[in-house]
Structure 1
Amino acid sequence: MMPAEDGQGARPRGHGASARGAPARGELPPYSYEPLKHRWELKLNFMSGVTLGPWLSFLWTHWRDIDWGLFWHRVAFLTCMSVVNTLLSAFDWLLHSRAVAAQPLHPEPLFILGHPRSGTTHLHNLLSRDPAFAFANTFHAGFPSSFLALEPARGLLAGLLAPTRPMDRMALSWELPAEDEIAVNVLSGCRVSPYAALVLPRAWRAAGVAAGGAPGGGEAVEGGSRGAAGGGGGGAGAAGSSGRAGGGVVGLRDFLDWEWEWEEEVESEEGAAAEHQAQGEEEKQQQEQATRREAQRQRQRPLPAQQRSGGAAAAAGQDAGGGAGTGTGMGAEGHPVAAAAAAAAAAPSRQSPHQRRRAALRAAAFEEWLASFMWFMKKITYRHVRLQQQRTAAATAAAAAATAPGCSGAQPPPPAAAAQPPQPPMLLIKSPVHTARLGTWLRLFPRARFVYVHRHPLEVFQSAAHMANTYYPYTYLQAPDDATTNDFIMDQYELMYSSYASRRAAVPPGRLVELGFGELEADPLAALGRVYEAFGWSDRWPAVAPLFGDYSASLADFKKNQFTSTVYVAAGHTARLLATHVPNPPTAG
């Protein structure tokens, strides 16, 4: 069943665990969802581009977590697609892998940040009209392993899409901009992206909540296949690194905010010198005590006559030598390599086996996520550069043909200049989960720019719940209950905004612009003009403003979802949403 015309997506009937939080004042119950409404659909599944290796790894790790009786046909479909994708990806790998690996990235990407359903897609579509940007479109994100070879035939795969997006009825095509995190999730086989929660929704809270820890932190229990809300499955984690038993050690919420990876690194570096120094002092004291005991034994031992006269001096020499030797061993204390080695050696002694396993899995997950992200960004850049080279070559050939002998008034072309490698284009990057990774982006791209789109939190929740009821059922391999879906929306909101709010002050001046959804909706050109002015791109504005205006005009007849009072936000959710909302966001940072 598709949503009603007024955008009323989730029915206010309430059941299961989510109903326990309903107010007792005769108000409507919390959101309720229909996870099986698109059970038999195979289209609109963002895992359609997965290759065989990651897919088999996913099945090996999570075969107990899949609701086979409900979604066996999706597993069969994705398995067939993985075989086809693997064959096609071989062409990309053989023909382009070296060039992609060597492709430099522009040092100043533009990130679009904001919670899902806050206007990020609208801004993404607008900014993608600027030809200065390179971006991932829907086909690239859906088929990241094979899009270079497969793109000319993308029309053959049109059946995998719908004419419009189910959550808002916006037009959908392979050419529209898309979220890069989809590609990361596909490349990793749902191992290191929070988007895996749209495939295995019960895995979202299985690890952290089982241990009573905070989102993304604290201890977690192993054995993700045991029990979760709704029965039949649980934790998902770094499957490729952890193996079948590791699902519950690292939860999906760990992959939303990678800040713990940097924080643990900093803490390790800061504590290494102190730990090494304390360990050295203790070893020195132990060595001195051992030396004194040995000297005492030597004094009490009968010695030959020729050695008795030098016994005291020998003992004194040993005593001094022990101390000197120990002190010399501390000479490399301040060396960074030595400090890092000391930290690596000392860390296991301070951690339990479970903590060491969790830290290793988290580090492996971050490395896999980062490798997948950087590879995809390089591939997008390479594709854009290659396309520009082809266009330049075509223009040069046309100019040469126009100046060929026999053409009246033709002027000979100027001498060909030495070929210069084209400059990489600026990347336009948008995935809502990136909102929680602001610190990570500042470390990876210190000169990056950011546009953050914000919207009233209650409207965000209503729209996010509507999307969960209209789109998520196309991707499920598990059927969540109402509480699981509500928890996912609320946890994601809190994690994104708390992380963003705590780190936005670190963005250098002139590198962050914050837009209200109402501002973007009411006058897109004025909002974009403010962005270009803040970033020092005013010279480009006269050329791109008509492009933005044309796109805005094409949306004149579009009607966004209108949520009525029957789409209810529970009182407990309202308090959490308002508590984590970023107050009084500045217009530019």
Structure 2
Amino acid sequence: MAQHPTSRRKPTQHGLVAWQGMSFRTMLRFFRLRPPTHPLRACRVLNTVASSAVTSVLKRAEWMRFGRRVREVQLAGPPLFVLGHWRSGTTLLHNLLACDRRFTYPNLYHVFCPHHFLLTESLVTRLTARFLPEHRPMDNMPCGWSTPQEDETALCMMTLLSPYLMMAFFQRHEVYDRYFEMRDVTAEERARWKAALLLFLKKLTVREPKPVILKSPTHTFRIPLLLEMFPDARFLYIYRNPHRVFHSTMHLRRTVFDVNGFAPVDETDMEEEVFRVYEHMFHVYERDRRLIPPGRLHEVRFEDLERDPVAVLREAYEAVGLPDFTVAEPHIRAEVARMTGYRKNRYDDDPETMRRIYRRWRFAFERFGYPSGLPHVRRAARAAVDHTPDRPHRRAESGRKTTHARSAPEPAEAAAAECSGTRSRVA
């Protein structure tokens, strides 16, 4: 059984629910899909209905005022996409990149109110800022209207063509699965999704005419589609120790489903779903990353970013041809200083869960160069090193200075895993 954090507070968004950003027409389509509901969440349903009516009025008012500017504006430059699985460090990377004032980014208000933020952001954020929680419900990262956020939330509210429907449809994969890659959608759905993303980016550009930095793990599935829309886009892909990703993703799902769902969270098959989606994302990324032109993709190791963020970002800027890093460096250093003392969620690793993770995701451990963490494998690897005098000891993983994926684990480690029957399952 996957572990909960060893220290938990009751997750809350202080009444803020993602679905409040839908228009009235979209809300009707949403409830026709019949999300699971519970009488104790009736207020959340009513709140969503009422908010959608207000949103529709504000959407029309915004278009009357800003519609012409939105139609005519051109993007200030190709977007920069932050890719990677949930809980791999995408938020940290996005937050640091957003310190560069030559770029803009979607914030919490934009993604929760995508239909009218040009009209209402200035007033509403001032009036409601004090009601927001200090931290995000799933971790200890700061929360505020101006903090960088995932554009996928906005796309979900605008189109319902998003895997984030899973927040309300926990067990109904058929409702949202095809929206990961956007390959099995109709031509009309594909065109509507592309129009929504472009509209959202143009509205961000009207607000602040700068190139946009976007971070949504779901975009990792959509490299061909994003290149079709933005041939000159740049991509930063971040990865992390799969053990940490698994536990943190389980906690993320429990928390986000709870604060945004219309019924209590059903954890049946949740662990299997986390395994499945990670496997799907990994193989899609490995297949599609080769489509990105040279000099437009760079891979970042979370542990390196955490240890020396300035050096890692400097290398990333150079690798994908971003503007002079020295301009952004003072702002990034200031943000790093503000983050001092940040406390990550802690999880208790039980051997059985670790074995399941390694068995299912061994391909990721090998691709990214992480040790299995299994006690018997560690002992076998140490024994192999001890009996090979001419072979230098490997440096600790955390001590390596590179932001690219590592080579496969040591032969002794792989052999020990095979002998224990932990052959990976590849989806």
Q: TM-score range by the shorter chain?
A: 0.7 to 0.9
Aligned position for 1:528 = 313
**Residue type of the alignment partner of 1:198:** M
Write the distance in 2 (CA, Å) between the matches of 1:83 and 1:582. Answer: 51
Aligned position for 2:207 = 383
Conservation of the 8 A alpha-carbon contact between 2:27 and 2:49: yes
Aligned position for 2:273 = 488
Aligned position for 2:236 = 451
Write the distance in 1 (CA, Å) between the matches of 2:354 and 2:293. Answer: 38
Write the distance in 2 (CA, Å) between the matches of 1:547 and 1:567. Answer: 42
Deviations 1:166-225 (A, max 9, x none): 22111100000111110011112xx21000101221222xx3xxxxxxxxxxxxxxxxxx
- 1:44 Cα offset (Å): 3.8
What residue ranges of structure 2 are gaps of 5+ in the alignment?
370-401, 406-427
Match of 1:130 among 88, 97, 100: 100
Write the distance in 2 (CA, Å) between the matches of 1:159 and 1:146. Answer: 21
Deviations 1:509-537 (A, max 9, x none): 11111010100000000100101121334
Write the distance in 2 (CA, Å) between the matches of 1:123 and 1:458. Answer: 20
Aligned position for 2:169 = 200
Write the distance in 1 (CA, Å) between the matches of 2:356 and 2:298. Answer: 31
User: Which one scores higher on RCO, CA 8 angstroms, separation ≥ 6?
Assistant: 1
Deviations 1:264-318 (A, max 9, x none): xxxxxxxxxxxxxxxxxxxxxxxxxxxxxxxxxxxxxxxxxxxxxxxxxxxxxxx
Aligned position for 1:229 = none
Write the distance in 2 (CA, Å) between the matches of 1:455 and 1:513. Answer: 15
- 1:7 Cα offset (Å): 4.6
TM-score (norm 1): 0.59
- 1:486 Cα offset (Å): 2.1
Conservation of the 8 A alpha-carbon contact between 1:497 and 1:581: no
- 1:426 Cα offset (Å): 1.5
Aligned position for 1:254 = 178
Cα 1:55–1:568 change in 2 (3 A) is: farther
2:136 maps to 1:165: yes
Write the distance in 2 (CA, Å) between the matches of 1:143 and 1:567. Answer: 44
Aligned position for 1:369 = 193
Identity level (%): 31
Conservation of the 8 A alpha-carbon contact between 2:89 and 2:238: yes
Write the distance in 2 (CA, Å) between the matches of 1:530 and 1:187. Answer: 36
- 1:559 Cα offset (Å): 1.4
Deviations 1:129-159 (A, max 9, x none): 1111121111011100011111112233336
- 1:483 Cα offset (Å): 2.7
Write the distance in 2 (CA, Å) between the matches of 1:57 and 1:42. Answer: 26
Cα 1:384–1:493 change in 2 (3 A) is: same
Conservation of the 8 A alpha-carbon contact between 1:137 and 1:176: yes
- 1:562 Cα offset (Å): 2.2
- 1:79 Cα offset (Å): 1.0
Cα RMSD (Å) of the superposition?
2.5
Count of paired positions: 370
Deviations 1:19-61 (A, max 9, x none): xxxxxxxxxxxxxxxxxx77x97624222222211112212x1
- 1:481 Cα offset (Å): 2.7
Deviations 1:540-561 (A, max 9, x none): 2222111000000001111112
Write the distance in 1 (CA, Å) between the matches of 2:354 and 2:306. Answer: 27
Cα 1:473–1:171 change in 2 (3 A) is: same
Aligned-partner SS, 1:583: helix
Write the distance in 2 (CA, Å) between the matches of 1:44 and 1:511. Answer: 37
Write the distance in 1 (CA, Å) between the matches of 2:26 and 2:351. Answer: 39
**Residue type of the alignment partner of 1:578:** R
Write the distance in 2 (CA, Å) between the matches of 1:366 and 1:8. Answer: 40
What residue ranges of structure 1 are gaps of 5+ in the alignment?
10-36, 208-235, 237-251, 262-360, 386-424
Cα 1:582–1:111 change in 2 (3 A) is: farther
**Residue type of the alignment partner of 1:133:** F
Deviations 1:549-580 (A, max 9, x none): 00000011111122222596364444222235
Q: How does 1:478-557 map to 2 (within 5 A)?
A: 478-537=263-322, 540-557=324-341
Write the distance in 2 (CA, Å) between the matches of 1:7 and 1:446. Answer: 45
2:348 maps to 1:564: yes
TM-score (norm 2): 0.80
Aligned-partner SS, 1:569: helix
2:224 maps to 1:442: no
Write the distance in 1 (CA, Å) between the matches of 2:197 and 2:366. Answer: 28
Q: How does 1:160-239 map to 2 (within 5 A)?
A: 161-188=132-159, 191-204=160-173, 207=174, 236=175
**Residue type of the alignment partner of 1:124:** H
Write the distance in 2 (CA, Å) between the matches of 1:426 and 1:497. Answer: 28
Cα 1:76–1:8 change in 2 (3 A) is: closer
Q: How does 1:264-303 map to 2 (within 5 A)?
A: none
